[in-house]
Structure 1
Amino acid sequence: MKLRSTDPLLRRLSLTNPIHFLALGFGSGLLAKAPGTYGSLAAIPLYLLMSYLSLSWYLGVTLLLMLVGFYICDKASKDMRVHDHGAIVWDEIVGMLITLTAAPAGWGWLLLGFVLFRFFDILKPWPIKWLDAKVHGGFGIMIDDVLAGVFAFLCLQGVVYFAS
């Protein structure tokens, strides 16, 4: 795995800064190819820790991480002086947590949730693409992935329902 060491915008960030560390998905956003995919993968250990929480606590923590994400992503993008740089992957982490809400236990469900989230995050069907293009700042960085997470969640829960 190659790091993006040549990107001059990344020199404006530091992993020792807690806001940058989180915005960069614990460093996963620094990987040169497919940082969004690595950011989504970085959500899995966090999800596994949170999967032991009750549904109400899981939702509360996810909501908190989303709200904090508006600030984190806004601050990192302002520090980089660019909107929604690919290395900012906190939005993918939150999107994955939304996708995996109330997912059944098992690696197969986790994998399906990951694939569904990446599908919606990459293809950006309407209104995700519209939000991505029209809404700016930390809210804009987050909202398209939040909605991709909601779409993926609905699909995953549909599969769970019909597979039962």
Structure 2
Amino acid sequence: MLCRSRPAGDKRQSRHRSREPMIEFHILEPPGIGLVPTWQWLMATWFGTGLVVPLRAGLAVFALLPLVVLAIKLPRLVVPVFAVVIFALGVHVSSAIELATGVKDDRRIVIDEVAAFLIGASMIRQAGWRMLVPFAALFLFLDRVKPWPVAYVEQIPSGWGVMLDDLVPAVAVGLLFAVAQHFWNRQSR
């Protein structure tokens, strides 16, 4: 869906409240299209969610929420094993795209956020589904601002740097939530 807003210098007044959104959404071209197999850019962009500007990583992570909520009912190792598989696949496809395009950590690649979110979500499983949205929001915020040591980890070459720079904030937030849940449970006894 393409939504348009008025140009920045447009001073026209309207007697009616405008129903036009203030944010413009558009779809980017896939990274490495024609240079890597289709399945690689599909996985790297998490089935195209990384191509939707300005949402990208947030769309990919929040699209996972219903699946993670359902997966909480599955055996304990399902989500972590799936996350590790996605992580390994992410290292491969992001390395291939970086090699093909020469672009380090292309913003259209969101499989790193997906894998990191899944790993973090598996860490806070005991807290239940109600904690997933605050976890996702804090994780995405830290992923966006890249505090130390994330900025340092981002310098690791190839797909490893792409994937690890998201894993660090996810694990940090996951540990924070797990510790908070532990103390919350102790207080309520």
TM-score range for the pair, normalised by the shorter chain length? 0.7 to 0.9
Percentage of pairs with the same residue: 23
1:130 equivalenced with 2:152 (yes/no): yes
Question: What is aligned with 2:99?
Answer: 78
Tell me which stretches of 4 or more aligned residues in structure 1 moved more than 6 Å: none
- TM-score, normalised to structure 2, is 0.73
Q: Unpaired runs of 5+ in structure 1?
A: none
Could you tell me how far 1:35 is from its partner in structure 2?
1.6
Corresponding residue for residue 33 of structure 2:
13
Query: Map of 1:141-160 to 2, 5 A cutoff?
Result: 141-160=162-181
Greater shift after overlay, 52-61 or 139-148? 52-61
Relative to the length of structure 1, the TM-score reads 0.83
Q: Which residue matches 1:105?
A: 128
Contact 1:13–1:20 (CA under 8 A) maintained in structure 2 = yes
Counterpart residue number, 2:68: 47
Question: Which whole-Å CA distance do the structure 1 matches of 2:31 and 2:117 have between them?
Answer: 27
Greater RCO, CA 8 A, separation 6+: 1
Gaps of 5+ in 2: 2-24
Cα contact 1:120–1:151 (8 A) shared by 2: no
**Does 2:27 match 1:4?**
yes
Q: CA RMSD in A?
A: 2.2
How far, CA to CA, are the matches of 1:49 and 1:74 in structure 2? 31
Q: Does 1:59 align with 2:80?
A: yes
In the alignment, does 2:123 pair up with 1:114? no
The structure that is helix-richer by fraction is: 1
The one-letter amino acid of 2:145's match is L
